[in-house]
Amino acid sequence: MVARALESGVAIETVLLDLLAPTAQRLGQMWVDDELTFTDVTVGLCTLQNLLRSVTSGEAADPRALFDGRILLSATPGEQHTFGVLMLETMFRRAGWDTVGLPLTDTDEICAMVGRRDFSVVGFSLSRESALEDLAGLIAQVRRASRNSSVVVMVGGRVFNDEPSLVRRVGADITAQDGKGALVASHSAVCSRMQTH
């Protein structure tokens, strides 16, 4: 199905946003509704990740969309849901961003990375409301460790899609419902910060 769509001229972004992302969301909902086991969901998401890699391997950035920004993307430490992070990494890379993805990592590695490299945006994914305080602590640590004193912190995932007001509670700057929104919000926030500095 994916190969046929791409062969017929459907844009990769359309495949990512309109096919792969909803499939991942449906897998998650089926797990919540006890229609699938954790193992079933894991196998399904691994299949989607392999499909994502095969669809985007060797893809260069669209030269019309180049943007001189650097973004670090990670699931909140302790999260098992990384497919969204991998999709965002692909979308930002294709839009011309210098991307670093750390889907499964810890706080120390994230803080070390933002201390070594100057990131425009640091983005975190979260699916569990019970980890909001952990994420707030991580964001505070990232801001202290960052080489970029005006780093933009973006958060996303089910928790923020369900309740966007939680963005401020964790100390983040922006959120978005999907990959396109994340690109627009990040670009806008970085440009806004550049104008004020």
Q: 34 is in which domain, residue-wise?
A: 2-56
Indicate whether 116 and 178 sit together in one domain. Answer: yes
Indicate whether 72 and 33 sit together in one domain. Answer: no
Indicate whether 140 and 89 sit together in one domain. Answer: yes
State the pLDDT at residue 123: 97
Q: How confident is the model at residue 17 (pLDDT cuts 50, 70, 90)?
A: confident
Q: Identify which has the larger pLDDT, 24 or 132.
A: 132
State the pLDDT at residue 56: 67
State the pLDDT at residue 9: 78
Mean pLDDT estimate for the chain = 84
Q: How confident is the model at residue 12 (pLDDT cuts 50, 70, 90)?
A: confident
**Statement: the pTM of the whole predicted model exceeds 0.85:** no
Indicate whether 21 and 112 sit together in one domain. Answer: no
Indicate whether 143 and 187 sit together in one domain. Answer: yes
The last residue of a domain, from among 11, 38, 56: 56
State the pLDDT at residue 135: 98
Q: Could you tell me what percent of the chain has a pLDDT over 70? A: 82
State the pLDDT at residue 196: 65
Indicate whether 48 and 123 sit together in one domain. Answer: no
Q: Are 119 and 148 in contact (CB under 8 A)?
A: yes
State the pLDDT at residue 63: 43
Quick one: tokens of 155?
Answer: 């958060």
**pLDDT of residue 167 exceeding 60:** yes
Indicate whether 107 and 177 sit together in one domain. Answer: yes
What CATH code is carried by the domain that includes residue 168?
Answer: 3.40.50.280
C-alpha angle 113-123-43 in degrees, rounded to nearest 5: 100
C-alpha angle 148-86-63 in degrees, rounded to nearest 5: 70
Indicate whether 37 and 76 sit together in one domain. Answer: no
Q: How confident is the model at residue 138 (pLDDT cuts 50, 70, 90)?
A: very high
Indicate whether 15 and 90 sit together in one domain. Answer: no
C-alpha distances (whole Å) from 1 to each of 9, 109, 160 are 13, 38, 31
Burial class (CB in 10 A: 0-12, 13-18, 19+), 173: buried
Indicate whether 110 and 38 sit together in one domain. Answer: no
Indicate whether 138 and 171 sit together in one domain. Answer: yes
State the pLDDT at residue 13: 76
Indicate whether 80 and 26 sit together in one domain. Answer: no
pLDDT tens-place string over residues 46-99: 677 667 766 666 554 444 444 568 999 999 999 888 888 888 998 898 888 999
Q: Could you tell me what percent of the chain has a pLDDT over 90? A: 42
